[in-house]
Structure 1
Amino acid sequence: MARVQAIPADTDEGVWTVITQTSTYLLDFDAMTLLRAPGVGRSDDHRWEVSELRRDSQDIPLLGVKECRVGGPAQFWVHAADEPDVRTWRVTTPVVEIERIG
């Protein structure tokens, strides 16, 4: 649909893909979920390693976006794995591309 430079912190609708140096994220603000596909990024730079995170390739509850801009790391506010009352941050490698797909 439309590529953008950032997802505003107050975003509360739509479906977005965020491609980083090492992974692709799917943010669904209608369902309030975040999915990370590790190793599906856009980097020819071998200095970036793909980290394995708990609940990779699974929808996790998304609480919001603190920062998501092309050129810098994104910060997503999510519920922690296995502890629904605990909140934590997912911080990414630098963002390469953002697109609203729904």
Structure 2
Amino acid sequence: MTGTERPGSGAGYSSSVARAQEISPDTDTGVWTVVTRTSTYLLDFDEMTLLRAPGVGGTDSEEWAVSTLRRDSEDIPLLGVKSCRLGESAQFWVRAADDPDVRTWRITTPVVSIERIG
């Protein structure tokens, strides 16, 4: 699996969960979790949806405030990933669930973990 790390795994190792350094912009399959400083995102490339769980993040630090966004904890249409790398803010291209003509970016706090879970 390109871009993934699995400590101690052999060449023939197979697992439904794999840690990754990034999700490349050409990714088009699988289900991924992206944990940021303040939230957890579930990206489903098979259904092309994005779900944000605010406050379920990778830090307890008060340095990072949790923002409330429209459609939090709901699946919204995912159009693509511009960037998603450990240590950097991810950028997800999404469509408004209630208006197919509205497209916008979801830009996250820094990413602390990426896992392919399906």
TM-score of the two chains, using structure 2 as the length reference: 0.84
1:23 Cα deviation from its structure 2 partner: 0.2
Matched, 1:78 2:94: yes
| Runs of at least 5 residues in structure 1 that lack an aligned partner in the other structure | none
Q: Distance in 1 between matches of 2:48 and 2:76?
A: 8
Q: CA RMSD in A?
A: 0.8
Corresponding pairs, count: 102
TM-score of the two chains, using structure 1 as the length reference: 0.97
| Runs of at least 5 residues in structure 2 that lack an aligned partner in the other structure | 1-16
Letter paired with 1:82: D
Q: Distance in 2 between matches of 1:11 and 1:81?
A: 22
Q: Distance in 1 between matches of 2:58 and 2:30?
A: 23
Greater displacement, 65-74 / 42-51: 42-51
Q: Distance in 2 between matches of 1:99 and 1:35?
A: 15
Indicate conservation of the 8 Å contact 1:54/1:81, yes or no: no
Matched, 1:2 2:18: yes
Q: Percent identity at matched positions?
A: 75
Give the structure, 1 or 2, with the largest relative contact order (CA under 8 Å, sep 6 or more).
Answer: 1
1:81 Cα deviation from its structure 2 partner: 4.4
Matched, 1:35 2:37: no
Letter paired with 2:110: P
Letter paired with 1:84: P
